[in-house]
A and B are shown apart, each in its own frame.
Chain A
């Protein structure tokens, strides 16, 4: 939470402090005060040649605990006879057989297809609806209680009702993903656009910029950090709802695979499903962070300079 980019000033300062603790050389207040920004830059660029190597080494070193956890899991479970916790070796062998060589891959594609459609719809609708509610602020205010209620209902509770209306199938699963995942994007878009600097809006007006152009060149870029934060949250919810919908009612997908393995009491198979799901969650988040770095390059760059200076 604290890491998500935000345009609000108090959050920004808190965030600056947390981040800067990772980089003690530039965060030292004494150094920062004694040197001008340009001096800091030249001082840094001298060391830049080694920076990538050192950075890589540090990040590898930081993973030691992660590795330790995996090794411990491997060793402690090696001779496990507990039905629920089979040896990690067996799980990984099974994982390879089922998901790499075997036909469980088709379950993966089925899940990812629903996820992709649902998440895209949720993202686009969220941004558009958020922008409309910003544009027509009075309408937004009037519908806010209803909106708030729908937002707060745990979406999973709606699942049986939607099943009754739409039946079981891809459209039901996509609907439930959209219904759950639209909110973070919508609310963050609305918040981000509301936080647009009034001076900038006045400047745009003084320059006789058209409404559309103002939105595209002033409001949207300004709100972008927060929209991306919303989209990232929507991504996590989409993955969760993808699985939930498959666990409740489906004939395909990872959730279905896990449930089916559980009912067969094939615990090792179930573990492979859980691990695949975990990997999907983190790979998707990782991909999102990559996209975010490209989309918000100007913002992250500007903020890094701000923190150094």
Chain B
């Protein structure tokens, strides 16, 4: 085994790259290539991050963002799972509705944001609506495909055994659709967070996005705070993605797509 293939070497290389990036950040900021007022130093940003973590404003902003994201995700995903299941179970409904959904999926979600802003103003409702609307269409399609992807043999067996209604749904349809739904949920969670931040940034609803914007507008002295907020947003993204990947692996460990670990459902 070569040195470069050893585990400790790989970890060391990764740490080295992270250190190099942080060092480069510091160097660029100190040298002033990007303008002194436009780019804070790495040390200044981390110090500011430490101070913000001790204060209440940052936690309030995180809570606002997480609340808007969570409620929106809950509403959008519940609606998508119900609608997607119903459409997936009926061939006629599926064929009729799929062009509309495919069309709406290509519409940039952001187009609806100005409307939400005039209707609800800079509020939690506006944010929740945007997140729910944004995750609904892609997840619905995912659920429809999942429900329709039942193995024909399994489906026929269920019919032979006269499984109907709820029993058939929970015993046959749902397990077969689960990997599709899980993938859809993981994507929805990440997209939802992005939409929540955009809603705060453009719509002015309180949260991390608004904190970033106000600290930028507050002038150069608050610039380290801006980058501290951006870092926090990035960490929130990492946490959300890791959490949903973990849940997916954990809850679907029985499914073949997870067992051979070759690929995910999409």
Interface residues of A (CB under 8 A from B): 1-4, 6, 8-11, 14, 17-18, 21, 29, 62-66, 69, 84, 138, 141-146, 148-150, 152-161, 163-165, 236, 239-240, 243-244, 247-248, 258-259, 261-262, 265, 267, 270-271, 273-274, 277-278, 280-282, 284-286
A278 and B145 form a contact (CB under 8 A): no
Residues of B within 8 A of A165 (CB): 34-35, 38-39
Say which one of B50-58, B73-81, B166-174, B179-187 lies at the interface with A: B179-187
Which one of A65, A142, A282 contacts B96 once the chains associate, using CB atoms below 8 Å?
A65
Cβ < 8 Å to A, chain B residues 176-203: 180, 183-184, 187, 190, 193-194, 197-198, 201-202
B110 and A243 form a contact (CB under 8 A): yes
Interface check B114, CB cutoff 8 A? yes
B34 and A153 form a contact (CB under 8 A): no
Contact of A282 with B103 at beta-carbon distance under 8 Å, contacts A18-B145, A146-B21 already known: yes
Chain A to chain B contacts (Cβ below 8 Å), 25 pairs: A1-B145, A9-B262, A18-B149, A62-B96, A62-B98, A66-B100, A143-B17, A145-B14, A149-B238, A152-B190, A152-B238, A154-B193, A157-B197, A160-B201, A161-B226, A161-B227, A164-B39, A164-B226, A243-B108, A247-B113, A247-B202, A262-B118, A270-B118, A274-B115, A280-B108
| The 3 A-B residue pairs with the shortest CB-CB distance in the complex, in nearest-first order | A8-B263, A153-B234, A1-B266
Say which one of B157-165, B205-213, B246-254 lies at the interface with A: B205-213
Residues of A within 8 A of B194 (CB): 154-156
Q: A2 to B212: give the CA distance in the assembly, Å.
A: 35
A64 and B4 form a contact (CB under 8 A): no
**How would residues 26 to 70 of chain B score, 1 for a CB under 8 Å from any chain A CB and 0 otherwise?**
000000001101110000000000000000000000000000000
Interface check B221, CB cutoff 8 A? no
Q: A283 to B234: give the CA distance in the assembly, Å.
A: 32
B108 and A281 form a contact (CB under 8 A): yes
A152 and B241 form a contact (CB under 8 A): yes
B111 and A160 form a contact (CB under 8 A): no
Which one of B99, B184, B263 contacts A62 once the chains associate, using CB atoms below 8 Å?
B99
**How would residues 222 to 263 of chain B score, 1 for a CB under 8 Å from any chain A CB and 0 otherwise?**
010011011001100110010000000000000011001011
Interface check B13, CB cutoff 8 A? yes
Cβ < 8 Å to A, chain B residues 73-99: 91, 95-99
Residues of B within 8 A of A261 (CB): 114
A164 and B38 form a contact (CB under 8 A): yes
